[in-house]
Structure 1
Amino acid sequence: MSLSLMDTPEPIKVIVAEDEPLIAWMLEDALAGMGLEVVGPFATVAEARSCALSEEPQLAVLDVDLADGAVYPLADSLYEKKVPIIFHTGNTDRVDLKRRYGDAQVVLKPSNVLLLQNVVENAFTRLKSD
C-alpha cells in the first residue's frame, strides 16, 4: 500500500454497507488493515443512512442490494456531499452506476484485498485532489 493512506493526520472514515456477513467481515478487515476507520458494516440502507448523517464519512463502500432494498437513497446523499463511492456488488450493470454516479468505482464480487486496495487508493487520490 502506498503511504498516502497512512500519512493523514486523522484516519479516513469509510462507511461500509453490506448485508452478507462474510463479505462484510472481509471488507471491514481489509479496510481496517489499510489504516481506515471503518464505520459499520451496515446490512440495511436505513442503518447506513442514519449513521452517514452523523458520522460524515470521507469514503463509502456500498453493496447495491441490501437487506431492505437498493442502496440508491444512501448513495444519492453521499454523492451530493461529494463523498467518493466504491460499489462492491454482484450487480453487473456498471453502465447504470457510472451514469448515475459519475466517477464512482465499481468492484465486482467476488473481489480480493489487492483489488480493493487499488480502488481505495484511486478514490483517495481523487479525494485529496478535490
Structure 2
Amino acid sequence: MIEDMLGELGGEVVESVAELAAACEAASRLDIDVAMLDVNLAGQLVFPAAAILQRRQIPVIFSTGYAPTSLPAEFSGNQVLNKPFALADLQKKLALALGR
C-alpha cells in the first residue's frame, strides 16, 4: 500500500526490505533522496538502519503504530507518520523531510 501511495505522489521505490540486516545493507549503499522506515521490522527496531542513513545525511520518515515520543532522542528531528495514515499525510511528511 505504501509503495502504491508513493507512486501516486510521483516517487519511485528503489528497494523494499522487511528485515533489519537487509535494511542496514540498503541504507549503506543506496543513492536515495529520502527513506521511509517502519519502526518495527519483523520484531526488530529499525534504528540501526536509521543511524546509517542519518550519518549519510539522508532524511528519514518513520512509520509507526507507536507513540512518536517512543523514538530515541537522536531521531527526534525526523518526520513520523502514525499508522494508519492517508495519502495526504504521506505527501505532507515527504515535503517536510525533503525541505519543500
Residue 89 of structure 1 aligns with which residue? 64
Tell me if the contact between 1:59 and 1:83 (Cα under 8 Å) persists in the aligned partners.
yes
Q: Describe how 1:1-130 pairs up with structure 2 within 5 A.
A: 26-67=1-42, 69-92=44-67, 94-97=68-71, 99-125=73-99
Tell me if the contact between 2:28 and 2:52 (Cα under 8 Å) persists in the aligned partners.
no
Tell me if the contact between 2:27 and 2:52 (Cα under 8 Å) persists in the aligned partners.
no
Is there any run of 5+ residues in structure 2 with no aligned partner, and where?
none
Q: Taking every aligned residue pair, what percent have the same amino acid on both sides?
A: 36
Structure index of larger Rg? 1
TM-score, normalised on structure 2?
0.88
Q: Separation in 1 of the partners of 2:10 and 2:70? A: 31
Tell me if the contact between 2:59 and 2:78 (Cα under 8 Å) persists in the aligned partners.
yes
Paired residue total: 100
Name the Cα RMSD after superposition: 1.7
Q: Separation in 2 of the partners of 1:95 and 1:113? A: 23
Runs of 4+ more than 4 Å apart: none
